[in-house]
Structures are given as structure tokens and as C-alpha cells.
Copies of this chain bind each other. A is one copy, B any other.
């Protein structure tokens, strides 16, 4: 396969690299227009419009009372799954629970000199999770989105997923069951996002919508944002692997291919100072490719966004990775911990040769919903903190108000706000 090879000392490297860094994509105005129409119609007509679009786009024929997955459908689905696979999903869920429990934050209240200053942490009340359907459904998506919400204490978690010709995939329902979701609706696309943002007769209005989706889903989320909260924009998958050339080239090649199989638009970058090793990785990519199932996707991804960069040294490789701010960063180094402090921007870091990014997709425990498109510069993996909100609290005693009252009045007057000043002076005047 044709993998792009480039050295940092090439004179045109900087120009090339700037394009890699600026890989974020804008919303298509044509798509925006059609999505806006769908949203308006669902907002106005509720279930009627939701079913109209669902039956049209998903080529199904649902009636209003079939929108929600019934208890019977849950039972049938769970029966279809081999018990050892059900147990596996439970084991994975347990590990995700254990990690995310570490993210719980506490409210605080500091009392001193007649003042009480606090911060209350409360769960968001209602959350909707979008789970893509299609041929390869991902039960891990259900777990990774639902479990942090459960730990945060969200009261109502609902899930939507498109209804294909074979119904809802049983693994998605198994994961929903394990993650404690009872309300699953067989709808997808922009119409499902609109339904959760505004509510319909069947689907409750939520406060926040999370979960990945295609460009129509992503556009719909962006358009309803403000009325409800949304999670980070999930662009195509990305990996940057920094290698010192000391591990097996087969391992590095396998990790590149695994990221490439996600999406034709996935970005896979190896940065290494070892040119000979880079050549071996390239060869191994070709060798391993032959036996893969998703060849078409892998080939498209590797040939479009597969890049091997030959850096001066590991230090330069780390600097480039910081500029890329990748979703996944593998430090395929003998002493990865030595470099950890220098990493500024990455969604998740995998340390050493026994920690492929695949661990993070499933079993490690940390969330696999990670910032893409260089958003790791300013945003975080999905976590418990995404399902809570904070409220400041202020409680002053009469004495504390007397102590600070004059300062408040003076500051308000500096800002030209005499009605603000009055709120304090009126309280102080009778004392």
C-alpha cells in the first residue's frame, strides 16, 4: 500500500505538517439545510414527523406503538446472545465502572467568619444516548456513554438506535441492559436527535445528548446545541504512534491497521527517528493487510491519511504529537514514562509495547470517547464530569455582610451600577 513517507528535515515538511494539524472539518451547508428542516418538522409534529423520516430513511414501517423496544424484544434479544459473550460484556462494564468511579467529584462548602461559600455538584437529570446501527454495531459505545452517566447519578438515561431490517442488534440491547438503560427507541438520524432535543409523545426531552453518529447526526447535534447540551464532536478516528524502533515492527503495523479499519477517513501516523524500522513497518502493513476483513476501509484510510514521519529524535516526535493533539497516542518506547510529562495534548496515551490502543477501546476502563481533530488541545475524554453540573452557593451572616458591604457598594459604583449598590446599603441601613 501507498503510505506517505516524509522526513522532518525536508524543506517542505512544515507546509505539509500544517495541513495535518488543521485537519478539523467544517459543516456542509447543504446538509445543514436539510437537517434543519428535519429538526423543525419533528419539533412541530412530534412522533408523526419522527416516524415519517424513520420509515423513509431506514426503509422500515414502524407504527407509533413500535417506536420503543418492548420488554419482550429485550428478552428475545438476550436469548440470542451466547452466555459467555453476555458475561464478557458484563466484565468489561465492571472495569469501566471501576475506572469512572475514580472521577467522582465532591461538592464543597467552606465556612469561615460568618460566610459559607460552596459548590454543589448535581447530576444532569435526563440524558439521551445516540448509538449508531448498521452492519457492525458497537456494544462498547453503549457502555462507554451510559456508565459515566450512571455514576454521575443521572435519573433518566434513554437510548436511540436506528432500526435496521433485522431489528435492533441484540448486542446493543444486551449492553443497554447491563448499563441499566430501560428506555430504548428504534429511531436514528437527525430525526432522533431532534426528538430527544424537543421531546415527542413517545420520546422524552432530555438535557444532554451524547454518542457518535454520521454527518447528519453530528450536524443535528450542533444545531440543537444550546437548547440541550451535547458531547464533543466525534470526527474520524486517529492514532499517532511514537516509536524508538526497539519493538517489533509487526506490532506497530498492527496498531496502525487497527485504527485504519474504523473509517476511510481515519488518520494513522507513525513518528520515529529510525528510518530502517519505518521501512519494516511499511512492509509489515502490506503483509498483515492481506488477511484482514475490512480491506476496502483499511486501504482507503491508509492511502489517504497514513503517514510515516522520520523525526530527528524522540523529543521532536513528541513536539509534533503535541501539535497534532491526537485522539490516541501510543508511546511505543522502551521508557515511555520518561516522556509522559512532555505530552501536552492527547485524548488518551498508551504507554509501552504491551498497551495497544485496542485495550482502551474495550477493557482497560478509561473512556474510549475521545477528542478528535486536534480538540484534545482544549477538551477531554467523556467522563463522569460530563454528566454533572455545578452550582455556586453563597451565604453571608449579618456580620459578614457588614464587614464586606462597603467594598461591594464601592465596586458596584465603580461599574456604574447603583441599583446593585442599593441591595447592600438597604440591608445595612437598619442596623
* Residues of chain A having any CB pair with chain B under 8 Å: 24, 26, 85, 88-89, 91-92, 99, 102-103, 105, 108, 110, 115-117, 119-120, 122, 124-125, 135-140, 171, 207-208, 226-229, 233, 248, 250-251, 254-255, 257-258, 260-262, 288, 292-294, 298, 336-337, 340, 343-367, 370-371, 373, 375-381, 383, 385, 389-398, 400-401, 404, 407-408, 410-412, 414-424, 426-427, 430
Contact = CB atoms under 8 A, between A and B. Distances in A.
A41 B401 CA distance: 50
B377 A408 contact: no
A423 B358 contact: yes
Given A138-B415, A248-B426, A383-B390, 10 more contacts: A85-B410, A89-B411, A99-B110, A124-B377, A139-B415, A294-B416, A345-B389, A345-B391, A356-B424, A358-B420
B358 A424 contact: yes
Nearest to A329: B391
B254 A419 contact: yes
A340 B255 CA distance: 51
Nearest to A26: B226
A362 B411 contact: yes
Contact of A422 (B92, B257, B381, B427): B257
B427 A354 contact: yes
Contacts of A415: 136-140
Given A119-B103, A415-B140, A422-B258, A355 B392 contact: no
A404 to B, nearest CB: 5
A254 to B, nearest CB: 5
Interface residue SS majority, chain A:
mixed
A137 B411 CA distance: 12
Given A378-B228, A395-B336, A416-B293, A366 B411 contact: no
Contact of A391 (B136, B255, B346): B346
